[in-house]
Amino acid sequence: MARFDVLCRWTACRLQRCRAHRAAAHIKPRLVLGIETSCDETGAAVLDETGSILGESLHSQKEVHLKTGGIIPMVAQRLHKENISRVVQEALDRSRVAPSELSAVATTVKPGLALSLGIGLQFSLSFVRLHERPFIPIHHMEAHALTVRMLQPVEFPFLVLLVSGGHALLSLAKGIDDFLLLGQTLDEAPGDTLDKVARRLSLIKHPKCSSLSGGQAIELLAKEGDRLKFHFRSPMGQHYDCNFSFAGLRNQVTMAINKKEKEEGIQTGQLLSCVEDIAAATQHTVASHIAKRTHRAILFCKAKGLLPQNNPTLVVSGGVASNEYIREMLRIVTDANGLQLLCPPAKFCTDNGVMIAWNGVERLKEGKGILSHLQEVSYEPK
């Protein structure tokens, strides 16, 4: 009798495990399509809830805008319109995921260039209505801030520095949709400043820089320059907060260039003999300003008990975060203050569909900001 009872219990457990296995087999993984068109990159990617990239595609407008010396919104809009359908289809094809299998579509709706955002949102709303999928509007900077959590476990709260061609801000990330803004740029962004200095120096005519963006050209030439040959004042030295300002620095650099052109007797548009030194001094002053404001933010967070005692973290992202000199200066600050510095790989620092899809995954997991495919959504450039 006892042997029969044991057999019954064993059989019941086997049946229970089989039912659980069959039920698990019918649970579909959550899949998110991310679409990014906030500026001059048309990006799309499909991710699962673990952060695995199942398929992605990216069309860069960099070469077109290099020829015009800067981003022209109407040109960016046209290129997004020409490429978005192909880019999204490529991401879907590479992932082998059908639109009907998507759990949601996540798209950048703010901030960015109005004409660029409009293309991404219009396409996405048509897509979700056609396939009756939920829609998740994404804040571009929020996506940059959370990308690191796709790559490694980073618990909230953590300090975030976002530096790019369009933004500079310091924030305390307390949750996927809970950020305490500590400081932001009062005029232009660091990437914009570096690009404008590169254009004023006509670096596109330099044999080593013809295919590089302004920021990349500055970083490359700075390695061969002497930053001590030019002295540029670090901005906002008398302002005791965490805000940034780069327009004044650009004016200083422009005046130095004007002076050297007169000394060397050359016209605007010709290369100066000291472009490497100006690049080095400019990069150093940008990096120093970013590091000083970040240090102030760290001290503020520590004084207010806003960061965890164990393993406090600074996450740095955005296009300018790819600059190795700036990263190294930030590493000096974090090492001195007991923080770990985390920077996503360069390909995830610039705009892409992966970070948008991951932000969608995070929101889907917590059930935050998920809209019906029938709801109206508008974009917000600022």
Indicate whether 234 pLDDT > 80: yes
Mean pLDDT for the stretch of residues 350-367: 96
Structure tokens at 77: 């809009």
Structure tokens at 186: 């009062």
Give dist(CA 170, CA 307) in Å, integer: 14
Cα 13 to chain centroid, rounded: 49
Mean pLDDT for the stretch of residues 189-203: 95
List the one residue out of 329, 322, 304, 301 whose CA is nearest residue 313: 301
Indicate whether 367 pLDDT > 50: yes
Rounded to 5 degrees, φ, ψ at 82 are -70, -25
Give dist(CA 325, CA 190) in Å, integer: 14
Give dist(CA 85, CA 124) in Å, integer: 10
Indicate whether 27 pLDDT > 90: no
List the one residue out of 46, 33, 74, 40 whose CA is nearest residue 59: 40
* Average per-residue pLDDT for the chain: 92
- pLDDT at position 1 is 47
Q: What percent of the chain has pLDDT over 90?
A: 81
Structure tokens at 185: 């740029």
Indicate whether 4 pLDDT > 50: no
Mean pLDDT for the stretch of residues 96-106: 97
Structure tokens at 153: 């476990």
List the one residue out of 27, 67, 271, 47 whose CA is nearest residue 146: 47
Give dist(CA 334, CA 157) in Å, integer: 16
CB 91 within 8 A of CB 46: yes
